[in-house]
Structure 1
Amino acid sequence: QVIAIVVPMVFIAGIYIKRRNVYDLHHAILGLLFSVLITAIVTVAIKDAVGRPRPDFFWRCFPDGVPKYNNVTGDVICHGKPGVIKEGYKSFPSGHASGAFAGLGFLSWYLAGKLKAFDRRGHVAKLCIVLLPLLLATMVAISRVTDYWHHWQDVFAGGVLGLVVASFCYLQFFPPPYSEHGVWPHAYLEHIRGPEGELQAQSTTNSNMHHNSLPLDLSGSNETRTTSHALDSIEEGSRDQ
């Protein structure tokens, strides 16, 4: 679960250092923590309700590999440690998979908004960056199967659960990444919204320059446009070759 929180926090902090937007920092951290917390609560509740045995449950019951029988009924007695046996009934869904997709899935949404990945300019590099956190979450989920702690259905259900919760939490605080103002959180857009309901971009920019505060660019900032031109040049060079 450390990866699900620490990795997104590093990216969020890095973007804050670059853009100095307190609204963005506050709502990004809030959305991330909400995503991981809600996913953890739902995961634990489902684990206790379903009680599916883990793939290694046999060795939890018989750690020495030797069966013991009830002298009266003749039934096999599960003689492992009680705590180990109880933990063996918590296979579905995978908590590591759900937590990884809750945190890293939120990071993918966040990066998609900041990079304007869905601006219809066709930048493959942006899409690769957005998918990297999901790739890391998938590797965490696969490791739970290869380590013989979960069935593949457990990690699949956990991944879907975490990604769904992450999506809801991100959209609660930020516009969709394909939106015109998808770079900034809802609260920041409301903060700079004028009494007539229109965004006062010019006046806010002048005010920020006066107070040496945040530069405002609702379309995705100058850095994003510069990155887009650079990516266009790289892709055109690739086509010429």
Structure 2
Amino acid sequence: MWGLSFFRNFKGIFAQDRMREVQLGAHTIRSHGVAVAKTHKYDWLILLLLMVIEVILYAIHPFYRFVGKDMMEDLKYPMKSNTVPVWAVPMYAVLLPIAIFIAIYFRRRDVYDLHHSILGLLFSVLITAVLTDAIKDAVGRPRPDFFWRCFPDGKDLYDELGNVICHGEKGDIKEGHKSFPSGHTAWSFAGLGFLTWYLSGKIKAFNRSGHVAKLCIVFLPLLIASLVGISRVDDYWHHWQDVFAGGILGSCLYGLTVATFCYLQFFPPPYQTEGWGPYSYFQMLEESRASTQAVHAESELNMQAMEAQNANQQDERSNNAFMGLTLARDSSPASDDVENGRR
């Protein structure tokens, strides 16, 4: 019986340790990073394909829309530098969220959360970038400063059809036909929108506890994205329609839509009870619970089998003792004398 109790306790301790390892994040980059990446190798290949497509869309010439002299009244805004430089966009829309993901990883030690958040973010940004640049190239709308891009010396020239004959820098002219929609705005809402979803889940913003201050953290990335969109109008790189009608209502909507779809591929909605972790984390918990139940069931069966075996052994011992006592009594000389005397 002592061995049976030890076996049961050992199985219970093993099951508890297994569950605790899953809950505390035993799946780290070192232990499971390569396996997780291999599981999603096709997703990473699609990401590389999206990168190639984005490079091609950025390199090709957009549609050179007809621009007549009477249209120049709305295209004579001065050329200004970007308040938010192009190189800064991936810094705050991609690298900043990844830095937050890494910080949370060091706290939770869950490689699934880190991998899926980075993968979802990159999908969100790259899908949005491909959509944005594809629309830019197809529409070819002139920027508000197109006149000075086309005629840097201020001397305009037109052909017999009334279309512009630009003599400015080729790169400036090419970029001058990419007004709609706003790429800065789309990238900002795609990356920071994904971060908004992520933070909403991690801080449990919708757990009905009444902590309204959490919403300030949730809305902060969206506020930054909105200010970036407004800066595009202030810099005369986009018409107000590009940002507000096409950006805030267009880039914002499809940027957030793409971010939402990408986020929900890996994480539950933040308003759910389990919205703080990735699907894979809870799948591991379910697998661990199933294995724990199997271990308990096996231990119970083994225990019942051992108890039945012990009971059978005890019965056999009792039967053997009773038979031995009977035989000894029957073969005893005293009993023979008594029997003879009675006869």
What's the CA shift for 1:6? 1.3
Instruction: Give the alignment of 1:50-61 within 5 angstroms.
Output: 50-61=139-150
What's the CA shift for 1:152? 2.4
Once residues 118 and 132 of structure 1 are traced to their aligned partners in structure 2, the CA distance between those partners, rounded to angstroms, is 16
1:164 maps onto 2:252 in alignment:
no
| 2:107 counterpart residue number | 18
Among 271, 280, 301, the alignment partner of 1:178 is 271
1:143 maps onto 2:231 in alignment:
yes
| 1:33 counterpart residue number | 122
Distance 1:22 1:60, change over 3 A: same
Distance 1:36 1:74, change over 3 A: closer
1:2-23 CA-to-partner distances (Å, cap 9, x unmatched) read 2100111121111111111111
Once residues 164 and 176 of structure 1 are traced to their aligned partners in structure 2, the CA distance between those partners, rounded to angstroms, is 14
- Fraction of identical pairs, as percent: 65
What residue identity is the alignment partner of 1:66?
K
Which is richer in helix? 2
Structure 1 outlier segments of 4+, above 6 Å: 72-75
Bigger CA drift: 30-39 or 73-82? 73-82
Distance 1:76 1:164, change over 3 A: closer
| 1:9 counterpart residue number | 98
| 2:282 counterpart residue number | 189
What's the CA shift for 1:59? 1.1
Once residues 73 and 124 of structure 1 are traced to their aligned partners in structure 2, the CA distance between those partners, rounded to angstroms, is 60
What's the CA shift for 1:75? 6.8
What residue identity is the alignment partner of 1:67?
D
Q: RMSD over aligned Cα, in angstroms? A: 2.1
1:186-221 CA-to-partner distances (Å, cap 9, x unmatched) read 111112214xxxx839x6xxxxxxxxxxxxxxxxxx
1:150-179 CA-to-partner distances (Å, cap 9, x unmatched) read 122322222222111111100111000011
8 A contact 1:141–1:159 mirrored in 2: no
Tell me the TM-score normalised to structure 1 length: 0.76
Distance 1:168 1:60, change over 3 A: same
| 2:222 counterpart residue number | 134
Distance 1:76 1:113, change over 3 A: closer
Distance 1:118 1:92, change over 3 A: same
Once residues 216 and 163 of structure 2 are traced to their aligned partners in structure 1, the CA distance between those partners, rounded to angstroms, is 55
Tell me the TM-score normalised to structure 2 length: 0.54
Once residues 166 and 76 of structure 1 are traced to their aligned partners in structure 2, the CA distance between those partners, rounded to angstroms, is 39
Instruction: Give the alignment of 1:86-235 within 5 angstroms.
Output: 86-155=174-243, 156=247, 157-194=250-287, 200=289
Q: What stretches of structure 2 of length at least 5 have no aligned partner?
A: 1-88, 293-343
What residue identity is the alignment partner of 2:184?
H
Once residues 109 and 187 of structure 2 are traced to their aligned partners in structure 1, the CA distance between those partners, rounded to angstroms, is 28
Distance 1:92 1:76, change over 3 A: closer
Distance 1:22 1:148, change over 3 A: same
Q: How many residues align?
A: 198
